[in-house]
Chain A
Amino acid sequence: MDRIKIIEVKESIFADNDAEANRIRQALKKDKTFLMNLMSSPGSGKTTTLIRTIDALKDHIRIGVMEADIDSAVDAEKIAETGIPSIQLHTGGMCHLDAGMTEQGLKEIGYENFDLVVLENVGNLVCPAEFDTGAVKNVMILSVPEGHDKPLKYPLIFTVCDALIINKIDVLPYFDFDLDKVKEYAHMRNPKLEIFPISAKTGEGMEAWTDWLKTQVMEWNGND
């Protein structure tokens, strides 16, 4: 008869991923590279916001982009037009990136040659929030047409983010979107969350956002 042995584990299912993410952050710190994990729903204007952000910062800092969006052949072409190096990551059919996949991407792009590497995560508000990628800061884009109740429906992503960009504020008059409510709901989940209402289309609010990002990059890389 087979003998059965019980091994007590009692560890979070995220324990291994979190340990790897912490190793990535240490390597980034040592090599003076800032990794930003950008998350959002599909259609929130993530790529357009990213292109505007790159345009504002590319003369000051060296930027690289890692694309993980599922339909990102189009996105990758748009990023390529900015003249910024970008690579495509493969999630192996998963709905998120974990620390292991991010590490492979960082090696492939040669992260130590950049001040800022942007990880454009899979367009989804659930899975990417659960897996720490090793990013220094997590940023989420919420767009006006998605509605102001998202912090109530997807609480986790708001708790793991450092900054929330509210995009498409140019269409506020046409939607039943309460900007104060979304700020209140989001701060309820995460009192430290920085909130930047912007329009990537008109450029409104972009300066406050890119100034914040630049300051974060400089502080992390130790050249502030």
Chain B
Amino acid sequence: MHEMGLMDAVLRMVDRIRREQQLGPVRKITLEVGELSGVVPRFLEECYEAVAAGTPFEGTELALEIVPGLARCEDCRSEFRPAGDVLRCPACSGEKLTPIAGKDMTIKEIEVFDPEEQ
């Protein structure tokens, strides 16, 4: 599944940041997920549990913040928020669409237990 590889990349990156900054155990990871990034949030959550199982990330929390998508029609220049798999401009039915926002998937922040207080 597509989301499995993405979550694997997320956990490896968080682990690298945690080691480099000598942080305590992770409590929560917050991701920003663009509506046009091509991922299904529910699958991300399911894959997170699977990828985290048996690692130090098991039992940690995943929070997803959805970033609205925005596309521009190159024919009539109107901008709109695409819904579902619709590949046409709602104004003129044009097919030349350029995604202008909500394409990315970003690690926004991580919450860790402060080691000094442990």
Q: Are B2 and A9 in contact (CB under 8 A)?
A: no
User: Closest chain A residue to B26 by CB distance?
Assistant: A7
Cβ contacts A to B, 17 pairs, < 8 Å: A1-B117, A3-B116, A4-B114, A7-B110, A8-B109, A9-B17, A13-B10, A13-B13, A13-B105, A14-B9, A14-B105, A16-B9, A94-B8, A127-B2, A127-B5, A130-B6, A155-B99
User: Closest chain B residue to A11 by CB distance?
Assistant: B107
Q: Would you give the 0/1 interface string for B57-78, flagging 1 where the beta carbon is closer than 8 Å to chain A? A: 0000000000000000010000
Complex CA gap A179/B97 in Å reads: 20
Q: Are B118 and A2 in contact (CB under 8 A)?
A: yes
B92 to chain A, nearest CB (A): 15
Q: A152 to chain B: which residues have CB within 8 Å?
A: 87, 95
Q: A11 to chain B: which residues have CB within 8 Å?
A: 13, 106-107
Instruction: Take A4-B111, A5-B24, A7-B21 as given contacts and tell me if A12 and B5 are in contact as well, using a CB distance cutoff of 8 Å.
Output: no
Would you list the 9 A-B pairs with minimal beta carbon distance, nearest first? A3-B114, A3-B117, A9-B107, A5-B114, A16-B13, A94-B5, A13-B105, A7-B110, A8-B109
Interface range for A: 20 to 34
User: Closest chain B residue to A92 by CB distance?
Assistant: B8
Q: What 18 new A-B contacts, CB under 8 Å, besides A9-B14, A13-B13? A: A2-B114, A2-B118, A6-B109, A7-B17, A8-B108, A10-B106, A10-B107, A12-B104, A12-B107, A13-B105, A16-B9, A94-B8, A98-B9, A127-B2, A152-B87, A156-B38, A185-B95, A188-B96
User: Closest chain B residue to A154 by CB distance?
Assistant: B38
Q: A1 to chain B: which residues have CB within 8 Å?
A: 117
* Interface residues of A, dominant DSSP: mixed
B53 to chain A, nearest CB (A): 14
Complex CA gap A188/B116 in Å reads: 54
A210 close to chain B: CB less than 8 A = no
Most buried by A among B6, B31, B116: B6
* Interface residues of B, dominant DSSP: mixed
User: Closest chain B residue to A155 by CB distance?
Assistant: B99
User: Closest chain A residue to B107 by CB distance?
Assistant: A9
A87 close to chain B: CB less than 8 A = no
Instruction: Take A3-B117, A5-B23 as given contacts and tell me if A98 and B5 are in contact as well, using a CB distance cutoff of 8 Å.
Output: yes
Q: Would you give the 0/1 interface string for B11-27, flagging 1 where the beta carbon is closer than 8 Å to chain A? A: 01110110001011001
A15 close to chain B: CB less than 8 A = yes
Q: Which of A11-25 contact B (CB under 8 A)?
A: 11-17
Q: Are B118 and A12 in contact (CB under 8 A)?
A: no
A220 to chain B, nearest CB (A): 27
Q: B111 to chain A: which residues have CB within 8 Å?
A: 4-7
B100 close to chain A: CB less than 8 A = no
Q: B8 to chain A: which residues have CB within 8 Å?
A: 94
B43 close to chain A: CB less than 8 A = no
